[in-house]
């Protein structure tokens, strides 16, 4: 059970059979990068037990949402959360699924904030592109992803706004007929060319939905 929480199931089977896993290139992966806004300035960041309790509750709910939409959580990095879709197992609806998951993650935070003394605000970025996935490390193993897809998703997150989802041009072209988006114009993307980016407009629940409890549904 511990290994199943550490590795995607497909990678775990390969690791158990051969004792290692071959780094794999994936050409068409949707990557979600979430980061909390003003984390280091939050009073709770100086209360270790309470902080970990809060993050554990939030990330556990994110994991349920991600799994429900056939995506894969890769890791948390402090207060950041990284997930992918269409790797290592194929998912033809990867861009729509991971964007839908992102919408539900924001809705969960909105409902939680409405009835909770600690307010968590995040930015989310999504990009569809190429990544490399592999188990790294010798004594402390971790399945990780690298490459342009991850870097650009991180850049989408940094260009987003609090409680908003920003998607790249490549993701937009896949989801635009299903999920409403608004153009934000062309931005310089570090390590890449200038790119049109978009806000997802289905992100927040209506006011009368704010007290709901179906965050992982």
Does residue 209 surpass a pLDDT of 50? no
**Dist. CA 152–CA 192, nearest whole Å:** 8
Q: Binning pLDDT at 50, 70 and 90, where does residue 215 land? A: very low
Highest mean pLDDT among 36-40, 70-74, 124-128, 190-194: 124-128
Least confident of 15-24, 50-59, 121-130, 155-164: 15-24
Does residue 21 surpass a pLDDT of 90? no
What number of other Cβ atoms are within 10 A of residue 103's Cβ? Answer: 21
DSSP state of 62: H
Does residue 94 surpass a pLDDT of 80? yes
Q: Binning pLDDT at 50, 70 and 90, where does residue 207 land? A: very low
Does residue 216 surpass a pLDDT of 60? no
Q: Binning pLDDT at 50, 70 and 90, where does residue 2 land? A: low
Q: What is the average pLDDT score of the chain?
A: 87
Residue 20: predicted pLDDT: 66
Averaged pLDDT, 22-50: 91
| 140 token code pair | 């402390």
CA 120 to chain centre: 16
Averaged pLDDT, 177-188: 94
Half-sphere exposure of 198 (CA within 13 A, CB side): 22
DSSP state of 41: G
Averaged pLDDT, 78-94: 93
pLDDT in tens, 100-158: 999 999 999 999 999 999 999 999 999 999 999 887 766 667 778 999 999 999 999 99
CB 153 within 8 A of CB 32: yes
Is this prediction's pTM over 0.75?
A: yes
Residue 210: predicted pLDDT: 40
């Amino acid at each position: 059970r511990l290994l199943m929480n550490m590795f995607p199931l497909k990678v775990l089977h390969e690791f158990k059979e051969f004792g290692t896993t071959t780094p794999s290139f994936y050409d068409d992966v949707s990557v979600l990068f979430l980061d909390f806004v003003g984390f280091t300035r939050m009073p709770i960041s100086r209360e270790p037990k309470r902080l970990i309790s809060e993050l554990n509750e939030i990330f556990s709910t994110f994991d349920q949402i991600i799994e429900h939409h056939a995506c894969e959580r890769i890791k948390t990095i402090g207060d950041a959360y990284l997930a992918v879709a269409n790797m290592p197992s194929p998912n033809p609806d990867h861009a729509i699924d991971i964007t839908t998951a992102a919408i539900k993650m924001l809705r969960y935070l909105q409902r939680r904030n409405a009835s909770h003394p600690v307010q968590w605000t995040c930015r989310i970025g999504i990009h569809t592109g190429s990544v490399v996935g592999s188990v790294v490390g010798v004594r402390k193993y971790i399945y990780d992803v690298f490459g342009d897809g991850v870097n650009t998703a991180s850049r989408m997150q940094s260009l987003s706004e609090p409680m908003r989802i920003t998607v790249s041009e490549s993701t937009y072209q896949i989801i635009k007929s299903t999920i409403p988006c608004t153009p934000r114009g062309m931005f310089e993307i570090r390590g890449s060319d200038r790119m049109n980016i978009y806000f997802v407009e289905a992100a927040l629940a209506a006011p009368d939905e704010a007290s709901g409890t179906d965050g992982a549904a």
